[in-house]
Structure 1
Amino acid sequence: MDGPVSAERWTKLLATIDALKKADTIAEVVDIVRASARAIAAADGITIVRRIGARVHYIAEDAVSPLWTGQDFPIEQCVSGLAMLTHEAILISNITLDLRVPQHLYLPTFVRSMAMFPVGIGEPIASIGLYWKRTGRIDDETVALFESLARSMGAVLYNLDNIDHATNYCAGRRTPWGAAPAING
């Protein structure tokens, strides 16, 4: 996919990682990534998806037209979920030629090619999706940029989740991801 000059993309990525390091909440992390990911990818849309058990929830997006924010799907029936289950990025140059893509959900949208990156340390807890209006190979630089962004986002979420688990465990509250705190010991 064509995009901004390489140096601009890497500069935007570094600024995003710097902002992530300062984030105090999971909501801030999501907002930071949502606000910058589309420009870094030179994409027509991005989405952030979180895993809750056997389902994936589309929690944020920035796209030329609405996609799936607020909806959830079974993890095995969604490309975002498959990226989490396999722990690997999924690159799809033409959605109409890939059996993993639920055509009934994608064909009414602008999406014709996509990439999905798992986010998390150990077990992925989220994914970042990139969407383009036209078909075509996802370039190596975009893959490298988003592997770096996904790793950074995963590290920040991991740290925030550990802090929140400890704080909420002591206070007897639920965690920001909605599950009851689970600390062994």
Structure 2
Amino acid sequence: MAEAMDRLAEAATLEEVHRIVRTAARSSLAAHGATLVLLDGDLCYYADEDSMSPLWKGQRFPVTTCISGWAMMNRQTVAIRDIRFDPRIPQEAYRPTFVRSLLMAPILRPEPIGAIGCYWAVPHTATPAETEALESLALAAGVALERFPEGLPARGFFS
């Protein structure tokens, strides 16, 4: 993860930031998938992903109806061992996917601009070390993303 932090600090393009974040999140946590979500007004924009099968890249969902939005609105990381039993999860959106467990951390907690999520195809209890690693990546990602304001969607929800 330290290498990813260094690369984020030196990233020259927004696309490079996206690639570093999605790759580092998935590989560092041995997840089956990872996503970078950006706040776009009152929507969550699934900007990028690194996953064993396609999930939601390029799609937008209301902040109030997805777990990445929950993490941003509540300004806290959320770990869910089994999504089938969590009322915050829109079951119809997840049913056709491999996702069984997840860990989602907001990017820039005081004023979230997005979230980073990791997914597992099996029940997985996120460890404190995994949670800390994802939160650290989210902080570094936020600093890197803010260097490219032209590439960030509107931040209207928390403004």
Q: Please, what TM-score do these two structures have when normalized by structure 2?
A: 0.91
Q: Do the aligned residues in 1 keep the contact of 2:105 with 2:134 (CA within 8 Å)?
A: yes
Task: Look up the SS of the partner of 2:151 in the other structure.
Answer: coil
Deviation (angstroms), 1:36: 2.1
Structure holding more helix per residue: 1
Identity across the alignment (%): 40
**Match runs of 1:42-53 below 5 Å:** 42-53=30-41
Structure number with the bigger relative contact order (C-alpha 8 A, sep ≥ 6) is 2
Letter in 2 for 1:44: H
Following superposition, which runs of at least 4 residues in structure 1 exceed 6 angstroms of deviation? none
Aligned CA-pair RMSD: 1.3
- In 2, Cα distance between equivalents of 1:157 and 1:122: 15
Structure 2: give runs of 5+ residues left out of the alignment. 155-159
Structure 1: give runs of 5+ residues left out of the alignment. 1-12, 165-174, 180-185
Cα distance change, pair 28–113 in 1 and its aligned pair in 2 (3 A): same
Q: Please, what TM-score do these two structures have when normalized by structure 1?
A: 0.79
Alignment size in residue pairs: 154
* 2:60 aligns with one of 72, 75, 87: 72
Deviations 1:151-178 (A, max 9, x none): 11112223x04xx5xxxxxxxxxx2225
Q: Do the aligned residues in 1 keep the contact of 2:23 with 2:34 (CA within 8 Å)?
A: no
Letter in 2 for 1:94: D
Q: Do the aligned residues in 2 keep the contact of 1:120 with 1:157 (CA within 8 Å)?
A: no
Letter in 2 for 1:79: I
Q: Do the aligned residues in 1 keep the contact of 2:77 with 2:104 (CA within 8 Å)?
A: yes
Counterpart in the other structure of 1:85: 73
Q: Do the aligned residues in 2 keep the contact of 1:45 with 1:61 (CA within 8 Å)?
A: yes
Task: Look up the SS of the partner of 1:15 in the other structure.
Answer: helix
Flag the structure with larger Rg: 1
Letter in 1 for 2:151: P
**Match runs of 1:1-185 below 5 Å:** 13-120=1-108, 122-158=110-146, 160-161=147-148, 164=149, 175-179=150-154
- In 2, Cα distance between equivalents of 1:98 and 1:178: 29
Cα distance change, pair 84–121 in 1 and its aligned pair in 2 (3 A): closer
